[in-house]
Copies of this chain bind each other. A is one copy, B any other.
Amino acid sequence: MVKLQLAMDTLDGDEALRLAECTASFVDILEAGTPLIKSVGITIVRRLKSAHPDKLVLADLKSSDVGAYEANMAFNAGADIVTTQGITTYATIAEVQREADKWKRRAEVDMTGVKDPVARAKEVMEAGVSLVLYHRSIDEELTEGALWDERAVNTVRDMCALGIDVVIAGGIHYDILPLLSGVPIYGIVIGRGITAQPNPAQTAETIARRIHEIWNT
């Protein structure tokens, strides 16, 4: 079952809770985005988890130092998944994974900016990492154009072939989904593709149905 993850990058905690509330029936993972956490603090993770205990809550910490310290803070607030970065040191990634193991939760390595994400995925698997995010940076998207070309899709396919769970993110919307059909991804992250739409709940439902048609039937 391919999961739908809602990324919330608003700076407003109440707005994030409203977004989660109206879309929760259609999403599997609620993501407290990096700017949202920096804006209102880790309390947003606690609020999301207590409003939606049946959903996975992801704290997009993108930790690049003192990884265990930050991961512990987020797990303590109720996060099911925390993130670190593929471009950061192996030491930090390994530390975040160890903290996740301690809590029996998950660490995800965000591959934004990594030159060879397949090779890096193989490396971090040795630290016990079982979940990676193939994520083109939004800033790059703005300067470099289309993200989901054949090369990107093949990279995702190669990462999946390593036997690691792969989540994909970065400018994904309805029309992009069929390009990924047949690739055994773990999940799809959508942010503005849902949150910036006139009717986020309806868009989430439409996308969830499309994911179901393509992967889950």
The answer on a CB contact under 8 Å between B38 and A61 is yes
Rounded to whole angstroms, the CA-CA distance of A61 and B41 in the bound complex is 13
- The complex places the Cα of A61 from the Cα of B65 at a distance, in Å, of 12
A73 to B85, CA, bound (A): 22
Q: How many residues of A contact B (CB 8 A)?
A: 36
Q: Does A103 sit at the interface, judged by CB under 8 A?
A: no
Asked if A42 and B34 sit within 8 Å, CB to CB, the answer is no
Determine if A101 is an interface residue (Cβ-Cβ < 8 Å): no
Q: Which of A32-53 contact B (CB under 8 A)?
A: 34-35, 37-43
Assuming the contacts A67-B139, A70-B38, asked whether A88 and B87 have C-beta atoms less than 8 A apart, the reply is: yes
Give 15 A-B contacts (CB < 8 Å), ordered by A residue: A34-B65, A34-B70, A35-B69, A38-B38, A38-B41, A40-B42, A41-B43, A62-B65, A66-B138, A85-B87, A87-B113, A91-B137, A91-B140, A91-B142, A92-B140
Can you add 17 more A-B contacts, CB < 8 Å, to A35-B70, A66-B138, A91-B139?
A: A9-B69, A11-B73, A34-B65, A34-B66, A35-B66, A37-B41, A38-B61, A38-B73, A40-B41, A41-B41, A41-B43, A89-B113, A89-B140, A91-B137, A91-B144, A92-B137, A92-B140
